[in-house]
C-alpha cells in the first residue's frame, strides 16, 4: 500500500492513498484532507497506511456508529479507570448503540441524537430514563464524537448541536445529629463503628476510607494523607490514585478520632496475632478480619442494614455531606472545607452546599453589626 502528500494551503494537506488498480486497470485512490503542518500530515499518513496494511482501515463513508463505538471503547479502555470504562461500555452498548448503531457515522445528525434522547425520556412510566441519566449519556456520546473529529472521521461533532434534558437541581440530603447519633449507637461494638466515625470526622469518600493504610496516618501529629481509593469492578478490587491533583491531600484529624484509632491499632495487632498465617496483612486501617480489603459494595450493604436497625433515614455518602455542612456551620472557611473534601475548586464546595450559605450570611451580618454601629456612631459625632 502506498501513500503520498500534496500541499493544499498553508495549513492544509491532501493525503493520497493508492490502492493499486482494479480489474479493469483503473487506478483506485482515496484522497483525504488533513489540517496542520507537514509533520501532522506525515503522522496521519503513516497511521492510515498502517491500518490499511493491517486490514483495520474502514472508509469514513462506510463506518457505522456501531463499529466506531467498538473502536472508541477499545481506545478508551487503557485511558480511564476500570470503573469509568465499565460505565462507558454500559452506556454505549446498552443505550447508544441500539439507538444509533446502524447509522453511518459521517451521516449522524443532531436531530437523530435529539430524537434518541426524547425516546429515552418518554413519559409512559415504563423503561424511561431520568434526565440526569440521559445527560450522562450525552456527555459520553459527545466525548466519543470529539475523538472522531480528532481522528478526522468527522469534520464537526453533531452532539454539540444537541440540547440534552436539564435535570432539576438536587438538594443535598444531610442527616440530622439525631440520625448520626443513632447510627453510631447501633454500630457500637461492630466493625462498622470506627470507619463510620472516621467518615463523619473526615468527610472521606467510601473508596478513600477503605483504601487507608497505617502508613498514611501519623498519629503523633494527627495528620492523615489521602493518596488512593479502593475501586470495585467486575474484574475485582484495585487501588487507584485520585483522578485530580486535589484528590491527593493531607488533612488534620479530630483529637477524639486519633484516640480511638490508637486503640484500634492495638486491637488489630491482637487480631493479626490470633489469626496467625491466615491473616493477609495489606496494612489497611479498615479491613476484614483476615486482613483482606472490604469490598465497597459489601460495606454499603452493611451500612444499609445498620441504618434500618438504627431507623436512620440516610445513606452512606450523606456522612460526607454531614461533615462538610457541620464545618461550614462552625464557621470554618470554605477553602479549608474544600481542601478536606478533595474538591477541584472551592466553587464546587460552595455550589454543592449552597443550602448552608443563607444561614452563614445571617451569621455574617450579625457579626458585622457591632462594627457597623461603631462606624456609624463615629460619623454621627
Convert the pLDDT of each residue in 87-134 to its tens digit. 999 999 999 999 999 999 999 999 999 999 998 886 555 568 889 999
pLDDT at 75: 86
Coil vs helix vs strand at 132? helix
User: If we measure between CA atoms, which residue out of 23, 32, 100 comes closest to residue 69?
Assistant: 100
Q: Report, as an integer, the average pLDDT of 174-188.
A: 95
Q: Are 200 and 254 in contact (CB under 8 A)?
A: no
Show me where the domains of the chain are located. 2-54, 65-161, 177-312
% pLDDT > 70, the chain:
91
pLDDT at 21: 67
Q: How far apart are CA 308 and CA 303, in angstroms?
A: 9
Q: Report, as an integer, the average pLDDT of 156-162.
A: 95
Is the pLDDT at 153 greater than 80? The verdict is yes
Q: How far apart are CA 85 and CA 91, in angstroms?
A: 10
Q: Are 192 and 185 in contact (CB under 8 A)?
A: no
Q: How far apart are CA 210 and CA 287, in angstroms?
A: 7
% pLDDT > 90, the chain:
58
pLDDT at 35: 82
Say if 65-161 and 177-312 have the same CATH topology.
Answer: no
Residue 254 — very low, low, confident or very high, per pLDDT cuts 50/70/90?
very high
pLDDT at 60: 64
CATH no. for 65-161: 1.10.150.130
Is the pLDDT at 38 greater than 70? The verdict is yes
Q: How far apart are CA 374 and CA 364, in angstroms?
A: 16
Is the pLDDT at 56 greater than 60? The verdict is no
Does this model's pTM top 0.95? My answer is no
Q: How far apart are CA 374 and CA 285, in angstroms?
A: 53
pLDDT at 199: 96
Residue 86 — very low, low, confident or very high, per pLDDT cuts 50/70/90?
very high
Q: How far apart are the first and last CA of the chain?
A: 93
Convert the pLDDT of each residue in 200-219 to its tens digit. 999 999 999 999 999 999 99
CATH architecture for segment(s) 177-312: Orthogonal Bundle (1.10)
For 12-79, give the DSSP string.
EEEEEEEEEE-TTS-EEEEEEEEES-HHHHHHHHHHHHHHHHHT----TTT-BHHHHHHHHHHHHTTT
**Which three cell numbers mark 181?**
447519633
Convert the pLDDT of each residue in 8-30 to its tens digit. 888 888 888 776 666 667 777 77
Tell me the H-state helices in 170-279.
177-187, 193-202, 206-210, 255-275
Amino acid at each position: 500500500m502506498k501513500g503520498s502528500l500534496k500541499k493544499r494551503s498553508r495549513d492544509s494537506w491532501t493525503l493520497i492513498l493508492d490502492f493499486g488498480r482494479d480489474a479493469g486497470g483503473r487506478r483506485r485512490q482515496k484522497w483525504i484532507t488533513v489540517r496542520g503542518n507537514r509533520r501532522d500530515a506525515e503522522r496521519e499518513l503513516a497511521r492510515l497506511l498502517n491500518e490499511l496494511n493491517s486490514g483495520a482501515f474502514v472508509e469514513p463513508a462506510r463506518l457505522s456508529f456501531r463499529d466506531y463505538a467498538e473502536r472508541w471503547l477499545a481506545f478508551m479502555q487503557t485511558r480511564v479507570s476500570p470503573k469509568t470504562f465499565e460505565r462507558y461500555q454500559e452506556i454505549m452498548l446498552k443505550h447508544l448503540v441500539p439507538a444509533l448503531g446502524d447509522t453511518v457515522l459521517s451521516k449522524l445528525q443532531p436531530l437523530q441524537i435529539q430524537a434518541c434522547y426524547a425516546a429515552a425520556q418518554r413519559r409512559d412510566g415504563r423503561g424511561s430514563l431520568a434526565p440526569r441519566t440521559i445527560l450522562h449519556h450525552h456527555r459520553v456520546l459527545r466525548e466519543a464524537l470529539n475523538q472522531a473529529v480528532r481522528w478526522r472521521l468527522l469534520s464537526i461533532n453533531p452532539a454539540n448541536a444537541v440540547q440534552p434534558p436539564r435535570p432539576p437541581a438536587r438538594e443535598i440530603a444531610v442527616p440530622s445529629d439525631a440520625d448520626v447519633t443513632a447510627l453510631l449507637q447501633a454500630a457500637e461494638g461492630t466493625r462498622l463503628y470506627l470507619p463510620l466515625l472516621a467518615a463523619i470526622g473526615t468527610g472521606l469518600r467510601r473508596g478513600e476510607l477503605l483504601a487507608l493504610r497505617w502508613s498514611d496516618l501519623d498519629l503523633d501529629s494527627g495528620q492523615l494523607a489521602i493518596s488512593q481509593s479502593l475501586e470495585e469492578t467486575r474484574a475485582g478490587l484495585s487501588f487507584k490514585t485520585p483522578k485530580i491533583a486535589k484528590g491527593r491531600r493531607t488533612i488534620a484529624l479530630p483529637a477524639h478520632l486519633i484516640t480511638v484509632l490508637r486503640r484500634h491499632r492495638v486491637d488489630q495487632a491482637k487480631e493479626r496475632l490470633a489469626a496467625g498465617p491466615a491473616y493477609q496483612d495489606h496494612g489497611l486501617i479498615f479491613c476484614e478480619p483476615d486482613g483482606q480489603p472490604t469490598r465497597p459494595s459489601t460495606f454499603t450493604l452493611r451500612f444499609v442494614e445498620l441504618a434500618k436497625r438504627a431507623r436512620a433515614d440516610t445513606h452512606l455518602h450523606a456522612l460526607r455531606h454531614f461533615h462538610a455542612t457541620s464545618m461550614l456551620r462552625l464557621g470554618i472557611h470554605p477553602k479549608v472545607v474544600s481542601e478536606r473534601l478533595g474538591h477541584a475548586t472551592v466553587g464546587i464546595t460552595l455550589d454543592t452546599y449552597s443550602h448552608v450559605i443563607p444561614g452563614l450570611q445571617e451569621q455574617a451580618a450579625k457579626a458585622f453589626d457591632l462594627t457597623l454601629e461603631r462606624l456609624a456612631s463615629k460619623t454621627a459625632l
